[in-house]
Amino acid sequence: MKRKNIVGSAAVFAVACLTLSGCAGGASDSSSSTGGAPKPDVSCDVPAANLDNKAVDTSEATGEITFMTQGLKGTFDDFFTAQIAEFEAEHPGAKINWTDMGGDADFDTKMVTQAANCSMADVINVPSSTVLALSKANLLLDFDTKSPDLGETFVPTVWDSIDLGADGAHTALPWYWGPFITTYNKEVFERAGLDPNTPPATMDEYFEAAHTIADAKTGDYAIYGNTDWYLLNQWRNMGVEMMNSDTTEFTFGDDKQALKWITEMAALYEKGAIPKDSIIGDLDQSKAYNAGNLAFGTPNASFLRSVKENNAAVYDVTGVGSDTVPEGSNPLFSGQYISVSVTTENTPLAVAWAEHIASAEQELAWVNYGIETNTTVIFPVANEALDNLQAADTTSTDPMDQARTLAAEAATQAEAYPADFYVTGAVQKALVDNVNQAIVGQLEPQAALDAAESKMNTLLAKLLAD
């Protein structure tokens, strides 16, 4: 028999696969709408009642549903277990199965897998990073028709911003969030000759303080390098026009303020004010901040808990200030939402549960639970809940308490920022990759802005064309 080697025949085999593959994929049926809302792009079995024009009658909420959250177990177990028990007692015959996933990047992967296979949980906690994708694919229930008037309970600008479904349908209920704040190490401030009780109030002061810390050459660092999380917020605070008003194009490429941000960061990096390896370090800077030689800490008050747990000494010298929002502008809202999957077979119960957990009453109870257990600093988005926020102890010197006071103020003034939905996934990567290259000096700042804008607009155009 003629000798042929294995790899060669594997190549032949691969070609055979190509010809065979025609029969492997099934044809998807074209999406034709049966009533009010269009069918999802993936070929799911959607109960017709979820797409018609009639509201859902939630008085008959029985049966069983699954409720999936992100990163809440371990912190809020008692709260949700109690909430579910209470709800089940009020609705005899109803059963809520709560599942939770760790809050890492794989959450999005899981969400995509489930969504692509029409098997999302009935009620889902959707982060702002995936709400656009799920809405565009028509995978989320339209609250406007299924539960009209629900929107009135939420902060108007936030509610208005999530008209991301077909024909401007609202597909998600604002749930909870943590306003950006400034946290800083008072000792590092002092060592650099800065007033430990005056955190920067504007982005200009922020960069100024960073330069002072770098110039003092005390061996301390000023700013953490991975800005993935709050880049958008800082640019907004500097007045950068991220997108045009109808969110069809990114427009920051020739923005002087964006250029200034990159130039400042590059200068600070050059000076050694930014730990060199932090550019692509952990998303949250708490691990680096815990070392005690970094001036600015996490922008999210809830992360103060991990500072407390991992290095109590640093926690004690942590100062808290408001986010660097300019005068006359409102803080940015970026939060978590509650949606109902359009494939749910128990719409009445799913909607009833979604309404329940996103209600003012429940949001407030949850926030208060965070205060009582001193575990988190989260805020509601329902008007009534915001009006009734528990008055924080303004005399406390505990950083968590101080953060709570400042964040409460921000929470009542916050407004939605549509670009937040669009700067996600590949678009965010395009932005951050280019910006990072400019910070470390591999790219000219303007070249980085141009490259990022062009790549981001290509991706966005493709999304909008579909």
Partner 1 sequence: MATLTDVKRPPRQTERATKKRPRTSGKDLNGAARFRPAWMPLLWLLAPIGVVAAFYLYPFLNIIFLSFTDASPLSGNGDFVGLENYQFLANDPVFWNAVLNSVVYAICVVPLMVALPLLLAVLLKDHIPGIGFFRSLFYIPAISSLVVVSLAWTAILKDNGTLNTTLMDLQLISEPLPFLTGRWFLLFSAMAVTLWQGLPYYMVLYLAALSNVDRSLYEAAAVDGAGPIRRFFTVTVPGVRIMMSLVGILTMIGSIKIFTEVHLLSNGSGGIGGESQTLTMYIRSVGLDPTYGSLGQGAAGSVFLFLLTLGLLLMSQRLNRKAEEQ
Partner 2 sequence: MTTAALTSRRRRGRAGFGTVQGKALALRYVILSVVGVLLLGPLLLPLMAAFKAPGEPVFGQGASLIPREWSLDAFVQLFTQTEIVRFIGNSLIVCGLTVVSALILSTVGGYMLSRRGWKGRGIALVVVLSTMIFPFESIMLSLYAQVRDLGLYDTLPGIWLPMMLGPFHLLLMRAAFLGIADEVEDAALLDGAGEWHRFWYIFLPQVKGSLTVVGLTAFIAAWQDYLWPLLITQSSGNTTMMLGIAQLQSSFGTDYRVVLAGAIAALVPIAIVFFFTQKYFFKGVEEGGLKF
Give the residues lining the site for partner 1 (CB under 8 A). Answer: 1-11, 14, 17-18, 20-22, 24-28, 40-43, 105, 108-109, 111-112, 115-116, 129-130, 132-134, 136-137, 139, 226, 275-277, 279-283, 424-427, 429, 432-434, 436-437, 440, 442-443, 459-460, 462-463, 466
Cβ proximity to partner 2, 55 vs 116, nearer residue = 116
Q: How far is the CB of 7 from partner 2 (least distance, A)?
A: 8
Nearer to partner 2, 128 or 302 (CB): 302
The helix/strand/coil state of 69 is strand
Min dist CB 365 to partner 1, Å, is 31
CB 284 → partner 2: shortest distance, Å? 8
**What are the DSSP E strand ranges found in 249-325?**
318-322
In 134-260, beta strands by DSSP E = 173-177, 181-185
Cβ distance to partner 2 smaller for residue 58 or 424? 424
- Give whichever of 121 and 131 is closer to partner 2, judged by the CB atom: 121
Give me the amino acid identity at 264.
E
Residue 257 contact partner, candidates partner 1, partner 2, none, CB within 5 to 8 A by sort of partner = none
Tell the smallest beta-carbon distance from residue 398 to partner 1 (Å).
29
Q: Any residues with CB less than 8 A from the CB of 46 and at least 6 apart, and which?
A: 39, 40, 342, 343
Instruction: Scan for tokens 């699954």, then name that residue.
Output: 66
Taking residue 411's Cβ as centre, other Cβ atoms within 10 Å add up to: 25
Q: Give the Cα separation of 215 and 209 in Å (integer).
A: 10
Nearer to partner 2, 25 or 328 (CB): 25
Given the rule CB under 8 A, which residues bind partner 2? 6, 9-10, 13-14, 66, 68, 70-75, 77, 97, 99-104, 106, 109-110, 112-113, 116-117, 119, 121, 284, 286-288, 290-293, 302-314, 375-376
Least separation in angstroms between CB 440 and partner 2: 22
Considering beta carbons, is residue 6 or 27 the nearer one to partner 2? 6
Rounded Cα distance, 460 and 466, in Å: 10
Long-range contacts of 214-220 (CB under 8 A, 24+ apart): 214/268, 214/271, 214/272, 214/273, 215/271, 216/191, 216/192, 218/188, 218/191, 218/192, 219/293, 220/188, 220/191, 220/192, 220/293, 220/294, 220/295
Q: How far is the C-alpha of 249 from the C-alpha of 460, rounded, in Å?
A: 7
CB under 8 A, 24+ apart: contacts of 354-363: 354/123, 354/173, 355/58, 355/147, 355/150, 355/173, 356/87, 357/83, 357/123, 357/175, 358/173, 358/174, 358/175, 358/382, 359/153, 360/153, 360/384, 360/385, 360/388, 361/385, 362/83, 363/175, 363/176
Based on CB atoms, which residue is closest to partner 2, 14 or 48?
14
- 70 makes contact, choosing from partner 1, partner 2, none, with CB < 5 to 8 Å by partner type, with partner 2
Which of partner 1, partner 2, none sits in contact with 463, Cβ below 5 to 8 A by type?
partner 1
Q: Closest separation between CB of residue 342 and partner 1, Å?
A: 12
Token pair of 185 as six digits? 């190490």
Q: 71 vs 253, which CB is nearer to partner 2?
A: 71
Q: How far is the CB of 188 from partner 1 (least distance, A)?
A: 16
In the complex, least distance from residue 66 CB atom to partner 2, rounded to whole angstroms: 7
**Please, how many CA atoms are within 13 Å of residue 242, restricted to the half-sphere of its CB?**
20
Cβ proximity to partner 1, 40 vs 348, nearer residue: 40
CB 404 within 8 A of CB 396: no
Q: Which does 226 bind (CB under 5 to 8 A by kind): partner 2, partner 1, none?
A: partner 1
Tell me the C-alpha distance between 162 and 151, whole Å. 10
Q: Tell the smallest beta-carbon distance from residue 232 to partner 1 (Å).
A: 15
Measure Cα distances from 342 to 93, 119, 134, 145, 292 in Å. Answer: 22, 10, 10, 13, 48
Cβ atoms 262, 434 nearer than 8 A = no
Choosing among partner 2, partner 1, none, which partner's interface includes residue 155 (Cβ < 5 to 8 Å by kind)? none
Separation in Å, CA 95 to CA 62, 174, 341: 7, 23, 17
Q: Of partner 1, partner 2, none, which one sits near residue 344, judging by CB under 5 to 8 A according to partner kind?
A: none
Out of partner 1, partner 2, none, what residue 103 binds, judged by CB under 5 to 8 A for its kind, is: partner 2
Q: Which does 307 bind (CB under 5 to 8 A by kind): partner 1, partner 2, none?
A: partner 2
Q: Report the nearest approach of partner 2 to the CB of residue 41 (Å).
A: 14
Q: Residue 454: helix, strand or coil by DSSP?
A: helix
Which candidate, 162, 320, 139, 299, places its Cα nearest to that of 227?
299
121 binds, among partner 2, partner 1, none (CB under 5 to 8 A by kind): partner 2
Decide whether 13 or 461 has the Cβ nearer to partner 2.
13
Minimum separation from the CB atom of position 374 to partner 2 (A): 12
Please list the helix, strand and coil fractions of the chain in percent, rounded to the nearest 5, in that order.
50, 15, 40
Name which of 147 and 226 has its Cβ closer to partner 2. 226
| 89: partner contacted, choices partner 1, partner 2, none (Cβ within 5-8 A by kind) | none
